[in-house]
Structure 1
Amino acid sequence: RETGQSSNTRRVKQMDKHDNSPRDESIHGRTQILAEIFGTYFLIFAGCAAVAVNKRTAGTVTFPGICITWGLAVMVMVYSVGHISGAHFNPAVTFAFATCGRFPWRQVPAYAAAQVLGSTAASITLRLLFGGEPEHFFGTVPSGSDVQSLVLEFIITFYLMFVVSGVATDNRAIGELAGLAVGATVLLNVLFAGPISGASMNPARTIGPAMVLGRYTGIWVYIIGPVSGAVSGAWAYNLIRFTNKPLREITRTGSFLRSARMS
């Protein structure tokens, strides 16, 4: 006679087998792609809308306001869909994760296409709202030399990917603060690099507005710079990842949030 425990075990195995079926994996893959489309759309819409509105209203948003908008948009979208798709929103981030073996190569084209689609859709929406006049351009073009912008894009994307790798792939990090850390990094990068390169850090952020508004000045800068910066940043963090053990196993303490709750 089969015991209740063995019966439950068999049911769990059957459920696991069902959860791992090709159909479920296909549905999960579609939800990830949709999350990347929606997330990239809202990110680009909010950030580029701040730029467009600021130009259209003679600076009412202000440059610090644009920086804050980008940072907050990244933060809220990471918390919204990070648990579904990983909240990449950036082909450079997806590619960098794949080079480190932390994202399947077979999903890279679909993720990149979803991110560019979301950016393009957001740019179309903004053009319908504000027009496509050159004075209202909300894309990114170098304000100085191409080389200057290329170096800046490499450095700030390196910085961003280094932070993303720390909070998203290291189980010793405080995962609850991932969105805040990434959003704050974007805010800081836009604050000092925005006036020079536009602080794209994201090929999709540049390609979408460029295609919709037909302005491709220096677009190679915003592909080579972010991709090489993201890959370098991801591998740089791997160099200092000396253990996969959780922090509590090293220091025998819990996370900062847990300590704060206990106190």
Structure 2
Amino acid sequence: MKKTLTGECISEFIGSWMLIFIGCGSVASLILSGASISQWEISIIWGLAVTMAIYITGAVSGTHINPAVTIALMVYRDFPKKKVIPYIVSQIAGCFLGAATVYLLFKNLFLSFEASNNIVRSSIDGLATARIFSTYPHSEISIFTALLTEIIITMFLVMVILAVGEAKNNNKPLANLAPVMIGLTIAIIGASFGVLTGFAMNPARDFGPKLFAMIAGWGTNALGQNMYFWVPIVGPIVGGLLAGFVFDKGIKRYMEAEEITQEAK
């Protein structure tokens, strides 16, 4: 059967579900049961979740599982505009269901943890467990710093995605190792800067679970203090767009020039 937009959207939905199911599952284990998981381990689990999602769904949809990637590919790689909204809706829906699945499996641990720590889910204290699903900034940084962080780390991630997928890049990974490189990039970003913003780098990864948390009892507090929710949406999209500009104007154009020069010799 040939590819269809419906099939691609289902692929994006499943890939996004996988991302949250594994990623948020690791955070739930850390917070609710005190599992011995370091920042690096959390980061590499998220990275491997993306790697596995790409290997499973990449042949159908390309496994964007991230609106920032979809938008950047539309602007810089001729990804069809008519597919952008369906892809993004599928990504958010998949992330929503991923959060719901984690909650279903950990529900008793959520209730026990909240009871033992006198946490009222709908209060500001509820962020202690809401952060299992989505990201919030470190208390010591400003909203501007959080936004700048998300812009820069997403720019770095999307530059790697563009580089490993660039046909003219003679140094791109071979033997289908591009998903591993992308996963490792997410891991090193998380290990280096995850403590600042939770390294969202993905509007769907953050907003889908926040929507679930709002419905599941955390209410509008799930959106974060001072309506923080917009930062992991705007920051990654800006970062993705910057990545395309920097890569194409600062790197890809010279790959092309070098290739032409070699052919002329």
TM-score, normalised to structure 1, is: 0.80
Equivalent position to 1:127, from 103, 107, 110: 103
C-alpha contact (below 8 Å) 1:170/1:244 kept by paired residues: no
AA in 1 matched with 2:61: S
C-alpha contact (below 8 Å) 2:39/2:190 kept by paired residues: no
Query: Which whole-Å CA distance do the structure 1 matches of 2:17 and 2:164 have between them?
Result: 23
Is 1:158 equivalent to 2:155 in the alignment? yes
Unaligned 5+ segments in structure 1 are 1-18, 253-263
Equivalent position to 2:6, from 23, 30, 40: 30
Equivalent position to 1:242, from 227, 242, 253: 253
Change (3 A) 1:106 1:169: farther
Is 1:186 equivalent to 2:186 in the alignment? yes
Shift of 1:106: 0.7
User: Which residue does the alignment assign to 1:81?
Assistant: 57
Change (3 A) 1:250 1:130: farther
Is 1:149 equivalent to 2:156 in the alignment? no
User: Which residue does the alignment assign to 1:211?
Assistant: 211
Pairing of 1:39-58 with structure 2 (within 5 A)? 39-58=15-34
Q: Calculate the aligned-residue CA RMSD, in Å.
A: 2.3
User: Which residue does the alignment assign to 2:74?
Assistant: 98
Structure 1 stretch 170-179 or stretch 146-155: which is displaced more? Answer: 170-179
| Greater radius of gyration (CA) | 1
Change (3 A) 1:242 1:41: same
The aligned length equals: 228
| Identity level (%) | 30
Structure 1 stretch 203-212 or stretch 137-146: which is displaced more? Answer: 137-146
User: Which residue does the alignment assign to 1:261?
Assistant: none
Shift of 1:42: 0.4
AA in 2 matched with 1:141: Y
Query: Which whole-Å CA distance do the structure 1 matches of 2:168 and 2:11 have between them?
Result: 23
C-alpha contact (below 8 Å) 1:54/1:61 kept by paired residues: yes
User: Which residue does the alignment assign to 2:118?
Assistant: none
Unaligned 5+ segments in structure 2 are 111-120, 215-221
Shift of 1:242: 2.5
